[in-house]
Structure 1
Amino acid sequence: MNGALPFDRDRLIAMPGLDYLRATMDGRIATPPIWSLMGLDLVQVDPGAVVFRGTPGPEHGNATGTVHGGWYGTLLDAALGCAVMTEVPASANHATLEYKVNITRVARAGQMLEARAHVQHHGRRTGVAVAEVRGVEDGKLYATGSTTCIVLEGG
């Protein structure tokens, strides 16, 4: 953890989502373990938008030697959910109600991809976000996604 504070639900609820994610990105609060398991990094946080970068490894492959669809789903769910989280106030939390993934191009292990997500709607009870996944080196579109999240007052 390199001095980062471990996950603490009370701290999460006490902070606005934007501040919590910035603290995570800056290394002051530990990232969720799944991010390291999947090779994901949060690289930019702004109100209503985030950017993740990820590099799938051979362990993220499927039987055909390409990146498993679940890897794209995890990258997109992280980016989409965190985009919504930037709009969640202190004393609230959020959870994914549904998300959709469209894979448009085959990625290979070792290829860095970037997911850019932004909020389309954020209300008192729900948030909706969309994202694109593009190759960092080639700029090509690899996947798109969308989500609807529920905002849970009181966490």
Structure 2
Amino acid sequence: MTETRKQYFANSADEMMTTAEMLSISGLEAMQSTLNGDSPAAPIGKLMGFRLDTVEDGEVSFVGAPQFESTNPMGSVHGGWYGTVLDSCMGCAVMTKVPQGSVYTTMEYKINIIRPIPVGTEVRAVGRVQHAGRSSGIANGEIRGVADDRLYATGSTTCIIMKMK
């Protein structure tokens, strides 16, 4: 791994894993590689203010805090921030179940915003797999406050799993 790849977030497409590299390992191995700093994290985390926190078989968490740049015209955190973080943790949880030689992508997801997250409040988003088969994966997620475990949002997703080789 080059020094550039040891950065937490990728700064260009050249720093991301290639398709061949990704297909040569399981989804769990890919997620563990990012957590360990051997592969860079997706740039969306840097843009949206969250980072990978834990990786287990069937469960992934991200930690972050929405900033002013993620607010809507009313000054509250935009629903897209909740959606992005939940899509990431739920999809990456499914990714931990994807075998070597396969990829996944989100087919649909739904979020339920329970209450607004105050700007700058650190939260943890946890995604847990409910089902992972040959062609689909289903996961649920929650966003909770790190300091007080307060529930801010829930979500669910269906992902397609595709064998590539």
TM range (shorter): over 0.9
- Corresponding residue SS for 2:72: coil
Q: Structure 2: any 5+ residue segments left out of the alignment?
A: 7-14
Asked if residue 44 in structure 1 is aligned to residue 15 in structure 2, the reply is no
Q: Deviations over 1:89-124 (max 9, x none)?
A: 010000000000100011121111111111000110
| 1:13 corresponds to which of 8, 19, 23 | 23
8 Å Cα contact 1:3-1:28 kept in structure 2: no
- Corresponding residue SS for 1:94: strand
- Corresponding residue SS for 1:30: coil
Q: Aligned ranges for residues 121-132 of structure 1 at < 5 Å?
A: 121-132=131-142
Q: Deviations over 1:31-84 (max 9, x none)?
A: 111111001111100000011111111000111111100000000000000000
Q: Aligned ranges for residues 34-113 of structure 1 at < 5 Å?
A: 34-113=44-123
Give the fraction of aligned pairs with identical amino acids, expressed as a percent.
44
Question: In structure 1, how many angstroms separate the alpha carbons of the residues matched to 2:22 and 2:139?
Answer: 21
- Letter of the structure 1 residue corresponding to residue 144 of structure 2: R
**Could you tell me how far 1:139 is from its partner in structure 2?**
1.0
- Corresponding residue SS for 2:5: coil
**Could you tell me how far 1:3 is from its partner in structure 2?**
3.6
Q: Structure 1: any 5+ residue segments left out of the alignment?
A: none
Question: In structure 2, how many angstroms separate the alpha carbons of the residues matched to 1:115 and 1:2?
Answer: 29
Question: In structure 2, how many angstroms separate the alpha carbons of the residues matched to 1:115 and 1:93?
Answer: 22
Asked if residue 139 in structure 1 is aligned to residue 149 in structure 2, the reply is yes
Aligned to 2:36: 26
- Corresponding residue SS for 2:131: strand
**Could you tell me how far 1:85 is from its partner in structure 2?**
0.1
Question: In structure 1, how many angstroms separate the alpha carbons of the residues matched to 2:32 and 2:45?
Answer: 15
> How many matched pairs?
155
**Could you tell me how far 1:14 is from its partner in structure 2?**
1.1
Question: In structure 2, how many angstroms separate the alpha carbons of the residues matched to 1:34 and 1:109?
Answer: 18
Question: In structure 1, how many angstroms separate the alpha carbons of the residues matched to 2:24 and 2:68?
Answer: 38
- Corresponding residue SS for 1:89: coil
Aligned CA RMSD, in angstroms, stands at 1.4
Question: In structure 1, how many angstroms separate the alpha carbons of the residues matched to 2:52 and 2:20?
Answer: 22
- Corresponding residue SS for 2:116: coil
Question: In structure 1, how many angstroms separate the alpha carbons of the residues matched to 2:130 and 2:95?
Answer: 13
TM-score scaled by structure 1? 0.96
